[in-house]
């Protein structure tokens, strides 16, 4: 299927430490690809906000995206966004940032447990790592993040699986986490926050979206209505990647609209 309303609300510019292309180049590429709306959501790791220089990149990112937004006015909807990592590890700094910066759209994410490196860098071939225990802690923090709720969408709910299952081939019995995942989904719904369908996994070894079909169905079953979608592109060529597959999955699970955020407010766009 091909869709006309391609919305990609999770992308990174070179104002992210792992980004590769400038905001203007990405905006031009998104426009050329016929994307309808894009959010640039550079990383702000809130547990290292000052010592990781995110206070500087936050400002740089904000102004470059705002500049692109006006340059592409009428051609491409650009949302000024940010991906806040670990916001609940330092709520005071996170809340101060959100009071100061007038974002269109804020993603809430957890990439690492407190005082531990990002799951991305962990070596799960090391048998001494109790990854089920780490996952348990991870989902506890995801719940705390959903309860804090000062973001718009909850990013890649099953993020560690990209590495534990996808890259290291470990098997994870997800039924052990169904109760806490229900609690996270119910908390999002109660707080009127979106769940993100992150399509990066479709181009990674894990081969599925985060979350996958079973959790997406459960979200719908529990009354979830607000869904955002994002490629998590770190390169221009990945802008919009997997959004069509994500839309097919969303439709299959009973979602016929996707949320677009401007000025921290969702608008539901038909998936068509
Ligand atoms: Zn992320
Ligand atoms: Zn990201």
Q: How far apart are CA 253 and CA 248, in angstroms?
A: 9
Tell me, in angstroms, the distance from the centre of ligand 1 to residue 255's CA.
23
Task: Domain of residue 222: give its range.
Answer: 7-270
Residue-level pLDDT at 176:
97
Any domain includes 148: yes
171 within domain boundaries: yes
Ligand nearest to the CA of 41: 2
Taking residues 177-203, what's their average pLDDT?
Answer: 98
Q: What is the pLDDT of residue 171?
A: 94
pLDDT tens, residue by residue, 236-260: 999 999 999 999 999 999 999 999 9
Is residue 123, in this structure, part of any structural domain at all? yes
**Strand 257-262, strand 265-270: pairing:** antiparallel
Q: 196 alpha carbon to ligand 2 midpoint, in Å?
A: 11
Has residue 39 been placed in a domain? yes
The number of the ligand nearest the C-alpha atom of 108 reads 1
pLDDT at 31: 98
How many domains does the structure of the chain reveal?
Answer: 1
In the reported structure, the alpha carbon of residue 131 is separated from the centroid of ligand 2 by a whole-number distance in angstroms of 22
Any domain includes 2: no
User: What does the pLDDT read at residue 61?
Assistant: 98
CA distance 200 to 216: 16
In a domain, 1, yes or no: no
Residue 87 has pLDDT above 80, yes or no: yes
Per-residue pLDDT of 125-152, as tens digits, reads 999 999 999 999 999 999 999 999 999 9
Q: Does position 1 have pLDDT exceeding 80, yes or no?
A: no
Ligand approaching nearest to the C-alpha of 238: 2
Residue 232 alpha carbon to ligand 2 centre in Å: 5
| Residues present in the chain in total | 272
C-alpha of residue 9 to centroid of ligand 2, in Å: 10
102 has pLDDT over 80: yes
Distance 110 CA to ligand 1 centre (A): 7
61, part of any domain: yes
> If you measure from the C-alpha of residue 197 to the centroid of ligand 2, how many angstroms do you get, rounded to a whole number?
12
pLDDT of residue 2: 87
Q: Is residue 139 part of a domain?
A: yes
Query: What's the gap in Å between 272 CA and the centre of ligand 2?
Result: 25
- For the record, the structure tokens of 124 come out as 């799960």
Please name which of 266, 272, 249 lies closest in space to residue 9, comparing C-alpha atoms. 266
In which band, very low, low, confident or very high, does the pLDDT at 204 lie, cut at 50, 70 and 90? very high
CATH code, domain with 121: 3.20.20.140
């Amino acid at each position: 299927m091909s869709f006309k309303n391609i919305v990609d609300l999770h992308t990174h510019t070179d104002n992210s430490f792992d980004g590769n292309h400038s905001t203007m180049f990405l905006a031009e590429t998104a426009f050329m690809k016929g994307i309808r709306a894009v959010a640039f959501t550079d990383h702000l790791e809130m547990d290292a906000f000052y010592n990781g220089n995110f206070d500087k990149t936050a400002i740089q990112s904000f102004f470059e995206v705002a500049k692109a937004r006006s340059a592409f006015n009428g051609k491409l909807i650009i949302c000024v966004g940010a991906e806040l990592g670990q916001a609940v590890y330092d709520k005071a700094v996170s809340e101060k940032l959100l009071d100061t910066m007038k974002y269109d759209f804020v993603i809430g994410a957890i990439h690492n447990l407190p005082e531990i490196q990002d799951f991305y860098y962990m070596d799960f071939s090391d048998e001494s790592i109790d990854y089920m225990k780490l996952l348990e802690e991870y989902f506890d923090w995801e719940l705390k993040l959903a309860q804090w709720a000062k973001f718009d969408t909850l990013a890649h709910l099953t993020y560690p699986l990209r590495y534990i299952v996808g890259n290291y081939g470990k098997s994870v019995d997800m039924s052990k986490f169904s109760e806490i995942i229900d609690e996270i989904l119910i908390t999002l719904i109660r707080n009127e926050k979106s769940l993100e369908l992150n399509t990066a996994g479709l181009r990674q070894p894990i081969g599925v979206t985060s979350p996958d079909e079973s959790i997406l169905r459960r979200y719908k079953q529990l009354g979830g209505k607000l869904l955002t979608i994002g490629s998590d592109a770190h390169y221009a060529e990945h802008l919009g990647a997997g959004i069509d597959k994500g839309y097919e999955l969303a439709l299959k699970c009973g979602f016929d609209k996707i949320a677009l955020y401007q000025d921290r407010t969702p608008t539901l766009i038909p998936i068509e």
